[in-house]
Homo-oligomer: A and B are copies of this chain.
Amino acid sequence: MADVADLAGVSLKTVSRVVNNAPHVQPELIERVLAAVAELGFRRNPLASSLRSGQTNATIGLLIEEIANPFYATIAGAAAEVARQHDTMLIIASSEEDPAREEQLLRDMCARRVDGLLVVPAGDDHSFLRAEIELGTPMVFLDRPAGGLLADTVLLDNRGGARAGVRRLVEAGHRRIGILLDSIGVYTMRERLDGAQDALAPAGVPYDTRLVRDGVRDPAAAAQVVSELLEGPDPPTAFFSLNNRITLGVIEELHRRGSDAAVLGFDDFDVARLVPYPLTVIAYDTRELARTATELLFHRIEGDRSWPRTVVLPTELVARGAPPR
């Protein structure tokens, strides 16, 4: 910048003013400075700038579980889009569901003085972030609530969606429903399971824990569990899979066996309409989830200091192929 000032024959500060479009600089000087900038290929250093000004550095952080997962990739895409509209860069970090790693990454992002943080929480205690919040870093949690922390949160209506879906199965006459889930340790899974119970009880359908299988991590495991349940005594006539990886495995196994058990899946997926099996899914708008959260974050960054909000977005029941019997 000093070189530019020399070449243009003005002071350092004048260059700074020109570069920042500050008022009160003669048009002729602006001209000269811009010419010098072009000639020397000067670009200001945003790091130094934000160090000095203490102001925003046009960066927000996004913490997710795993970027390669389409759900999180969609979130990242929507967040990036909103960030772009605000001329802001997005730093993405993956916690891999590890609370210790999550804490380290969040602290690291805060140390980099991001303007705000978008967090899909992995751990269940985020009180370590309280200091950061008080220090002025806005943050919004999405998909799952923060643990031990009052903060802006955007959630899906997991419970309501599961309730509606299972109610439909029950109304269609199913009384034995196999339920497959990834991990009861995850908030969304607990909510979905609660929703299923909500629907069973009023219909007088017993909640049979033998039909509920936790720890189903991938399609292969799901196929295996479906096998076991179908070959056991008093097999289910319907399956409720609590995420789309599981749904894939369930369908694959039912298809292989030629079974006509009904399938209800939480999470929609791209190729659902190609799947050779009638399938009802509980769908939601992932982009809208992320968009809402990111916009809320930018409100905070722009100075909104109102009481923390919690937004719950609706889910929708989508039937494809033949409806569940």
Which positions in A face B, CB cutoff 8 Å? 41, 43-48, 50-51, 57, 59, 66-70, 72-74, 76-78, 80-81, 84, 89-94, 107-109, 111-113, 131, 248, 251-252, 255, 269-271, 273-276, 287
Contacts and interface: CB of A to CB of B under 8 A. Distances in A.
26 contacts: A41-B131, A43-B107, A44-B111, A45-B51, A45-B113, A46-B111, A47-B47, A47-B50, A51-B51, A66-B77, A67-B80, A68-B76, A68-B287, A69-B73, A76-B92, A80-B94, A89-B93, A89-B112, A90-B93, A252-B273, A252-B274, A255-B274, A269-B271, A270-B271, A271-B271, A274-B276
Nearest to A271: B271
Given A91-B90, A275-B274, A276-B274, A47 B51 contact: yes
A5 B266 CA distance: 55
A275 B275 CA distance: 7
A77 B70 contact: no
Contacts of A93: 80, 89-90
Nearest to A131: B41
A106 to B, nearest CB: 12
A74 B68 contact: yes
A108 B57 CA distance: 12
A296 to B, nearest CB: 20
A74 B274 CA distance: 23
Contacts of A80: 67, 92-94
B67 A94 contact: no
